[in-house]
Every structure is written in structure tokens, then in C-alpha cells.
Chains A and B, each alone.
Chain A
Amino acid sequence: MELDTGATAWMLMSASLVLLMTPGLAFFYGGMVRSKSVLNMMMMSFGAIAVVAVIYVLWGWSMSYGSDIGGIIGNPFDQFGLQGAIYDGGEFIIDDYGVPGIVGVGFQSTFAIITVALISGAIADRVKFGTWMVFAALWVTFAYFPMAHMVWGGGLLSGDGPFAGIAAPIDFAGGTVVHINAGAAALVLALVVGKRKGFGKEPMRPHSLPFVMLGAALLWFGWFGFNAGSAFTSDGFAGLAWVNTTTATAAAIIGWLITEKLRDGSATSLGAASGAVAGLVAITPAAGSVSPVGSLAVGVIAGVLSALAVGLKYKFGYDDSLDVVGVHLVAGLWGTLAIGFLATDTGLFYGGGVNQLAVQAIIAVIAIVFSAVVTLVIALILKGTLGWRVSEEAEVGGIDLAVHGETGYETVPQGSIIKEVRA
């Protein structure tokens, strides 16, 4: 295949955009926690970048796209350290879109990074940083790479799998691999790790809504790489995904704001930021298969559903601190199912029958069960070995100071109490 410089330029750009999402997520989550734990929250995202980027070139790519083992996983040794993934006979490998394979490796690694970072919102303010870093390594290896392989690497849940006989499963940019996967993991982890001290009794209001808005804006911008980049080239599909990503997100903001205006009395900035993310999540699997008008329905319903779902944690008493379940699991599930209704060629509303819907439901359920089981095993092993929780004193006093030896904000005039003792 001849090198396509236009497509290659777009894919390098897309990879960079998706990588930007994780620091964006750090702001989105960081603004939502209390000021005493803002650094720890942001460090969980930066830690995910560090761990996952390293692992990805070692065995991540190979486990996702290497030679298939049982439809579940790629062989980690097949392309360990990217051997055989970059060159062929001294020349760069070029994929079917005219893009060098190494560009695809970079692009895919950024998806693995953000997926791990997403989970951190469920366990804010209270976990040991070292345990989180080990969890990131284990989870990306045993939950993310297999899911990426099953859906995108020619495994069980792909167009080459057993369900393709009913209809080819569609997950354009990661409804199952990224959002259902992270959302189900978040629920399990919140249950295993347990509630923050004072959850449901003490106020835990977001300390910086401007940070949350900034984070949502960076996520949205990065999401153009996530969705439009998932066309793997700079073509009409990329354009369709770009427009759908914008329209669904806009509609989701409106859906969330109307819901909370009716329920709580105000249209809030946190609601707008959250609605935007819910819309982005929901359109992710569907960005290449619904029309822009269809994307409005995907978005507005995602906004309403997630606005309603964030209250569930108080009802059921699990402390999914920053609503990873309410936003990513719920909107990811809806987006995955919405394809069954709204895909312009195979959707129920377009005369495509129920086959697509059935297949979408099957892959969603398998994704939830797979992620939940793998996460439970990893979480329990870590609970019994390294332990998850910091001391109660550290949690109440502030995890930033206790774990990282820093505080996010200056609360006393410099020089009066703070003195430099070692330079």
C-alpha cells in the first residue's frame, strides 16, 4: 500500500488529540473533588499515562492486535516491544488506509490510557497512589487489551466473531471497549474500595467548577481525534463522525440542563459539563453509523439518562465519587444500544429489523460481565496485598499532603509560616 500523507497527518493529529483528553480528564475530575485532594485526583490521570504508555509498547499492542488466541486475546509475545509491528523488510509497514502501522500504535495507545484514567473518578480522595499504579498496569493488561482485541482486533465481538452471523457488531470508537469497560470497572472498584469517610453525610461539593468546564472543553476537543480519528483516514466517515460528535454533545447538554432545571430548579455549569461528556460517550460507538439527525436523539437521551443516573449512588449507597457509572456506563450502554435503533443501514427505525439491536445488546452485556469479573479479581487481590485505602487521618486531613507531600493551593501567606528549609 502506498503512503497516504493526508491520512497519516490526520492520524498523527488524532493521536495527539486523544492523548490530550487524559490531562483534560484530570481537570474535569480535579475540579470536582475537594481542594484537599485535587492533586491526587489529577495525578491518577497522569499516573495512568505513565504506566499505560510504557506497557503499551511492551505488550499492549501485541495483546490487542497480535496473533489471536481463542478470540479473546492477542499473543503478548508475538509483537512484544513492537517487534515486527514497525518495519517489514527495512520499510515502514503501511496499513490499508495508507497510514504507517506505527502511527496506528500511537493512536491506539492513547485509547488505552484514557480508559484506565476514566476509572479513577470512582475512587477519588481515598486510595494509595502505589496501589492505583499497580491496578492501572493489571487492569489495562487483563481487562482493556482483551476487550480491544475482542472488539477491534478480530476477536469474539468483532465482525469476524460468532455473532456476525446475526449482524456485524458495531463499536466505532469505543462504546464497549472504553466506556462500558471503564464504567463497569468503576462500579466494582467503588464497591470493593468502599465509601469515602463522611459520604452522604458531609458536604463534598466540587471545589473548582471552572476546572470542570475547562476539562470538559479539553475532552470535547480531544474527542474529535477519538471519534473522527476512528475513521482511520481523512475521509467522509471522519467528517460524519466529527459532525455527529458535535451535534450529539450539544443535544446532550440540552437534555441534562432541562432535566436538572425541572428536578433541581437550576441549569448548572456542572450539569452542562457533565451533559457534554455524557453526549460524547454515547455518540462514541455510533459516530460512524448514525445520521447527524439521529445523533441528536442519541445525545439528548444520553443527557437525560445520565442526569437521572447520577442520583443512583445515593439510593444504593455506593460511592462512585465522580459518577463514572452514571455517565460512562449508562451513556456508553445507551450509545451501544442506540446503534440498533438508529444505524442508517441496519437500525430498527430505518427498516433494518432487530438483528443489529440484538447483537448490540449481546456485546454490551458481555462487555459488562467481562469487565466486572476481571476488575473484581484484580481489586480483591490488591485489597489483600497492597491494600487500597490510605489511613483515615490521611483521608480526612487531605490525601494531597499525606500521599504526595504537596498541597494544591496556598492557604497561608508565603514567608509567614512556610519557610524554605532545603534548596
Chain B
Amino acid sequence: MKLVTGIIQPHRLDDVKSALEAAGVRGMTVSEASGYGRQKGHTEVYRGAEYTVDLVPKVRIEILVDDADSAMVTDVIVKAAQTGKIGDGKVWTVPVDDVARVRTGEHGAGAL
């Protein structure tokens, strides 16, 4: 099993969600995040006083998948989230030792 994590632009979330649903992904966890990479932050001016805001808002998507699906899911996220501009985000995959479904107590692939 793998955990696919994507950090994407907030405005791409709807498209990414639809694309994942179309690809058969049945669940995900989405949270608000903030951070920066090459995009850097932005500046705000209040009565002439300038402030730089280093962290910009992002959305984090986390999906648990079978080993076989991880490459496909990563591709779907990348395609749907891509605008071609700096700040589009990143997607990475890490191995997962075990998963348990709280309702039934199932473990492993059956809990996905």
C-alpha cells in the first residue's frame, strides 16, 4: 500500500477531485495548508506600510492506494492540477505498513 500526498493550488482542487473520482478513486482527505517553494510569498501594503507574507495558501490531498494504483493516481493529480506556472505544487508517494478500517477492524488492502 502507498500514501499519495499532493500539495496543489487551492483553485485546482475541484478539477483534481473530479478527475480522481472519474479514475475510480473512492476517498481522500483534504486539508488546508500553507507553505512556499519557488513561488515565494506575496507583499501586502497597509497605509503605505509594506508587509511580505512568506507562506501562501495551498491544499493538501492525501489518498491511500494499492501499490498498483499509485502511479496512475499520481498522474491523475499532476494532470488535473497542472497550470504550468510556478506554484503548482508537488505530489509524492510513500510506502505504508498497515491500514485499519475503524468501523470493522479490517487490516491491510481490504481496509482501503
Does chain B have a CB within 8 A of A264? yes
Chain A residues numbered 264-297 whose CB sits less than 8 Å from any CB in chain B = 264-266, 268, 270-271, 274
User: Scoring B residues 44 to 58 as 1 if CB is less than 8 Å from chain A, else 0, what string do you get?
Assistant: 111111110000000
Q: Is the CB of B48 within 8 A of A265?
A: no
Contact with A along B21-48 (1 / 0, CB 8 A): 0000000000000000000000011111
A residues in contact with B48, CB < 8 Å: 260, 263-264, 307, 310-311
A395 within 8 A of B: no
- Cα–Cα, bound, A203→B53 (Å): 10
- Taking CB atoms, residues of chain A closer than 8 Å to B46 are 205-206, 268, 270
| Besides the known contacts A268-B46, A310-B48, 17 further A-B residue pairs in the complex with CB atoms under 8 A apart | A203-B51, A205-B44, A205-B46, A260-B45, A260-B48, A264-B48, A264-B50, A268-B45, A271-B47, A274-B47, A307-B47, A307-B48, A310-B47, A311-B47, A311-B48, A323-B47, A326-B47
13 interchain pairs, CB-CB under 8 A: A205-B44, A205-B46, A206-B46, A260-B45, A264-B45, A264-B48, A268-B45, A268-B46, A270-B47, A307-B47, A310-B48, A311-B49, A323-B47
Considering the chains assembled together, what is the distance between the CA atoms of A260 and B48 in angstroms? 7
Say if the beta carbon of A349 comes within 8 Å of chain B: no
Contacts of B44 in A (CB 8 A): 205
- A92: interface (CB < 8 Å): no
- List B contacts of A271 (CB < 8 A): 47
Chain B neighbourhood of A77, CB < 8 A: none
A350 is an interface residue with CB less than 8 A from chain B = no
A87 located at the interface, meaning its Cβ lies under 8 Å from any Cβ of chain B in the complex: no
Distance from B18 Cβ to chain A, minimum over Cβ atoms (Å): 31
Closest 3 CB pairs of A and B: A264-B45, A310-B47, A311-B48
Interface membership of chain A positions 196-232, coded 1 if the CB is closer than 8 angstroms to chain B and 0 otherwise: 0000000101100000000000000000000000000
Residues of chain B with a CB closer than 8 A to A260's CB: 45, 48
Which residues of chain A from 145 to 173 have a CB within 8 Å of any chain B CB?
none
Chain B hits for A205, CB < 8 A: 44, 46, 51
How far is A271 from B45 in the complex, measured between Cα atoms in Å? Answer: 10
Please, how many angstroms separate the alpha-carbon atoms of A206 and B44 in the complex?
A: 11
CB of B78 to closest CB in A, whole Å:
34
* Cβ–Cβ < 8 Å partners of B49 in chain A: 311, 314
Tell me if A265 and B47 are in contact (CB < 8 A): no
Centre residue among A203, A206, A260, A263 by max chain B CB count within 10 A: A203
Give 1 or 0 for each of B63-107: 1 = CB within 8 Å of chain A CB.
000000000000000000000000000000000000000000000
Give A254 Cβ to nearest chain B Cβ, in Å. Answer: 17
- Residues of chain B within 8 A of A263, CB atoms compared: 48
Q: Mark A111-134, 1 if CB is under 8 A from B, else 0.
A: 000000000000000000000000
In Å, the complex CA distance between A314 and B51 comes to 14
Residues of chain A lying within 8 A (CB to CB) of residue B51: 203, 205
Q: Considering the complex, give the chain A residue whose CB is closest to the CB of B48.
A: A311
B55 to chain A, nearest CB (A): 13
Output the least CB separation between B104 and chain A (Å). 28
Q: Which residue of B lies closest to A256 (CB)?
A: B47
